[in-house]
Amino acid sequence: MPHPIKLSYPDKKIISVAWEDVPSNEVGAFYTIKDKFGLAASVQVFGDFEGSTVTLKVSNDGVHWMPLRDLAGDPIELTEGALAEFSSSALYIRPVRTGGASASVSVVMVLRG
């Protein structure tokens, strides 16, 4: 079962999507990006990585997943606490955590529309 998401709406033009305490080798539940909210967005990853990597993946069909790329065109694959900005018109997005042993890595994405 995918790791659940927690949604909050700090403003009518901002959506915050959080996957808290993602276990090692876990796939987060996908979030459906609505309207134009993926055009200006960021993702922040923090916690105790212990050798793990968090990759953001996107899909238009929910079956075939590709790496999400940052504004410089590089895949968002984080191995330590960091914040990356991106723009995407994909329909679905989710984090994937591989490696490591700690259960205390969290992913928070902010979408502006």
CATH number at residue 86: 2.60.120
Domain annotation covers residue 1: no
Q: Which domain holds residue 53?
A: 6-112
Domain annotation covers residue 27: yes
The residues pairing with 14 across neighbouring beta strands, listed in sequence order, are 11, 112
Per the structure, the count of domains in the chain is 1
Domain annotation covers residue 63: yes
**Per-block mean pLDDT, blocks of 10 residues, the chain (113 long):** 86 94 92 92 95 96 98 97 97 95 88 91
pLDDT score, position 101:
80
Domain annotation covers residue 23: yes
Domain annotation covers residue 30: yes
pLDDT score, position 2:
76
Domain annotation covers residue 89: yes
Q: Give the separation between CA 76 and CA 68, rounded to whole angstroms.
A: 6
Q: Give the separation between CA 44 and CA 65, rounded to whole angstroms.
A: 20
Helical H runs in the chain? none
Is the pTM higher than 0.85? yes
Domain annotation covers residue 97: yes
pLDDT score, position 46:
96
pLDDT score, position 100:
86
pLDDT score, position 1:
65
